[in-house]
């Protein structure tokens, strides 16, 4: 059997799942209805495919350490992680994937392109469809997966099935744009229409050859970006100047709607793109159709979703509502308006609100920090450093810091002097002091940091040395 290389596209922002999904920590890194995050679920699912190679992940620079860490958590340490300097939609990403797979495995190897933030409840059915697609792709087809519709969905594109091919696949007769509700209701009554789930499987060289016919400049730009790529720690960093020459376009528009080599494989595997808060309505509910997560009390509610990440939420007499509470933001809307959450996010971005970028807990490659109190000239943070990790060597122009160890052991270097701190011990970092914090122990280090000064912004930092290769605040 030809090698199948899973390629996970992990560059999405998931704005319709705000306030849980944010720029710095979007939905693919969240646990939504399971013990693993969405990207972990995707990677584990891909491993179940026969003859599957280690995954390739394509993501942005901001999320590179999150991707690597979450894959390591599930035992995947041989993934290839490619960093896009900027998002250019799925066609250039697919081209990069095909070129990389050709380089690593040869042009006949199969690329299985999938989003890292979707859910599939029936892995066995998913793998069966993948094997059918693989066999058909080897015969010279670019395969797309048609998801069996479960409702008249206006948020998805549709695929029309054509003539049957050997082995259980079909020709692809037509791509259909997102329909109005009346047309979607007609589609769901017909056997030859399915959702377009954004899953593709194709021979690497065939994809590049076909894309060269319709988008030669895009292929040239992607080849240049990959040929001039730099190795940065465990990541492949695409050349920015070359990659930005690639036209931003979806794989559907750039190629799949134009090629005569497209094929379709039906898939009935409990797929969902987790595209909005309506996804929670597909999870187990009570007898009145309500779903709740966290510290939630409902009374006389129907078809209502309440998701609480912080604090107790009480809901009384609600119908068809969605309430999402985090530590720093609360969303209240109706089931019929969940697709419009992105308009709220756009307004928040325009106002430069921090709630669109970071969660209260900000994740870094060394651990995380959380602001727990702040005033005019002070801020208090809870800092967690993973075992064996350390922050950059740095200094601040406008603030001093007082560190109190709550758990674990801290190794502190300040102005050339080292000291080891245990629980309930503390130290002072003066304004302008060159300092570094690390965890030499086997358990997470937790400490409280009290900052004081005239300016407490995260950009008040001068970094001298960093094991993660960062040259800006991070």
Which ranges constitute the DSSP H helices of 138-229?
A: 181-187, 204-214, 216-227
Of 73, 420, 96, nearest to 237 (Cα)?
96
Give me the half-sphere count of Cα atoms (radius 13 Å) on the Cβ side of residue 191. 3
3-state secondary structure (DSSP) of residue 218:
helix
* Spatial distance between the Cα atoms of 184 and 189, rounded to a whole number of angstroms: 9
Answer whether 300's CB lies under 8 Å from 316's CB: yes
Measure the CA angle with vertex 192, ends 188 and 197; round to 5°: 70
Answer whether 142's CB lies under 8 Å from 255's CB: yes
* Spatial distance between the Cα atoms of 215 and 140, rounded to a whole number of angstroms: 19
Right CATH for 4-272 from 3.60.110.10, 3.20.20.140, 3.40.50.300, 3.90.550.10: 3.90.550.10
pLDDT of residue 1: 63
Give me the half-sphere count of Cα atoms (radius 13 Å) on the Cβ side of residue 221. 20
pLDDT of residue 472: 52
Answer whether 78's CB lies under 8 Å from 54's CB: yes
pLDDT tens, per residue, the chain with 474 residues: 689 999 999 988 788 999 999 998 999 999 886 789 999 999 999 999 998 999 999 999 989 999 999 999 999 999 999 999 999 999 999 999 999 999 999 999 999 999 999 999 999 999 999 999 999 999 999 999 999 988 888 778 899 999 999 889 999 998 888 888 888 888 888 888 899 999 999 999 999 999 999 999 999 999 999 999 999 888 999 999 999 999 999 999 999 999 999 999 999 999 988 888 888 877 889 999 999 999 999 999 999 999 999 899 999 999 999 999 999 999 999 998 998 999 999 999 999 998 998 888 888 899 999 999 888 899 999 999 999 999 999 999 999 999 999 999 999 999 999 999 999 999 999 999 999 999 999 999 999 999 999 998 888 899 998 888 776 544
Answer whether 221's CB lies under 8 Å from 92's CB: yes
Of 196, 372, 342, nearest to 277 (Cα)?
342
pLDDT of residue 474: 47
pLDDT of residue 188: 85
Q: Could you tell me which residues are beta bridge partners of residue 390?
A: 438
pLDDT of residue 103: 96
Of 270, 320, 225, nearest to 41 (Cα)?
270
Of 199, 245, 249, nearest to 7 (Cα)?
199
pLDDT of residue 470: 74
Domain ranges of the chain: 4-272, 277-349, 366-464
Which ranges constitute the DSSP H helices of 78-189?
A: 90-105, 123-137, 181-187
Asked if the 366-464 domain carries CATH number 3.90.226.10, the reply is no
Distance of CA 265 to the CA centre of its chain: 25
């Amino acid at each position: 059997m030809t090698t199948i290389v899973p390629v996970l596209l992990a560059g999405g922002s998931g704005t319709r799942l705000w306030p849980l999904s944010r720029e710095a920590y979007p939905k693919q890194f969240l646990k939504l209805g399971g013990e693993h995050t969405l990207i972990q679920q995707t990677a584990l699912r891909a491993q179940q495919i026969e003859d599957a190679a280690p995954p390739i992940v394509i993501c942005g620079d901001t999320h590179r350490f999150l991707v690597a860490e979450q894959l390591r958590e599930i035992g995947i340490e041989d993934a290839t992680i490619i960093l896009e300097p900027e998002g250019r939609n799925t066609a250039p990403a697919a081209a990069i994937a095909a070129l990389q797979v050709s380089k690593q495995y040869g042009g006949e190897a199969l690329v299985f392109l999938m989003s890292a933030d979707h859910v599939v409840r029936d892995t066995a059915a998913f793998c069966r469809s993948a094997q059918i697609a693989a066999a058909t792709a080897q015969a010279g087809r670019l395969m797309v997966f048609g998801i069996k519709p479960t409702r008249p969905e206006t948020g998805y594109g549709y695929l029309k099935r054509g003539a049957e091919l050997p082995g259980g696949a079909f020709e692809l007769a037509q791509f259909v744009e997102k329909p109005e509700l009346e047309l979607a209701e007609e589609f769901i009554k017909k056997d030859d229409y399915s959702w377009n789930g954004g899953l593709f499987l194709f021979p690497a060289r065939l994809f590049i050859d076909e894309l060269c016919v319709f988008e030669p400049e895009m292929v040239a730009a992607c080849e240049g970006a990959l040929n001039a790529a730099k190795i940065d720690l465990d990541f492949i960093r695409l050349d920015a100047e070359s990659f930005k020459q690639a036209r931003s376009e979806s794989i559907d528009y750039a190629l799949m709607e134009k090629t005569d080599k497209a094929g379709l494989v039906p898939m009935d595997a409990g797929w969902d793109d987790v595209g909005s808060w309506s996804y929670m309505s597909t999870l187990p509910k009570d007898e009145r159709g309500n779903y709740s997560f966290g510290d939630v009390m409902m009374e006389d509610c129907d078809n209502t979703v309440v998701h609480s990440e912080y604090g107790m939420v009480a809901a009384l007499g609600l119908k068809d509502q969605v309430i999402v509470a985090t530590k720093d933001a609360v969303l209240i809307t109706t089931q019929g308006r969940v697709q419009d959450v992105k308009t709220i996010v756009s307004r928040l971005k325009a106002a430069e609100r921090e709630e669109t970028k970071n969660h209260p807990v900000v994740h870094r490659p060394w651990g995380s920090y959380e602001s727990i109190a702040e005033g005019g000239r002070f801020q208090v943070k809870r800092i967690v450093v993973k075992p064996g990790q350390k922050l950059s060597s740095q200094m601040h122009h406008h603030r001093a810091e007082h560190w109190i160890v709550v758990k674990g052991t801290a190794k502190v270097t300040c102005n050339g002097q080292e000291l080891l701190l245990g629980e309930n011990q503390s130290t002072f970092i003066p304004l302008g002091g060159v300092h570094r914090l690390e965890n030499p122990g086997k358990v997470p280090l937790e400490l409280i940091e009290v900052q004081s000064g005239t300016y407490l912004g995260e950009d008040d930092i001068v970094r001298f040395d960093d094991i993660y290769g960062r040259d800006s605040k991070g």
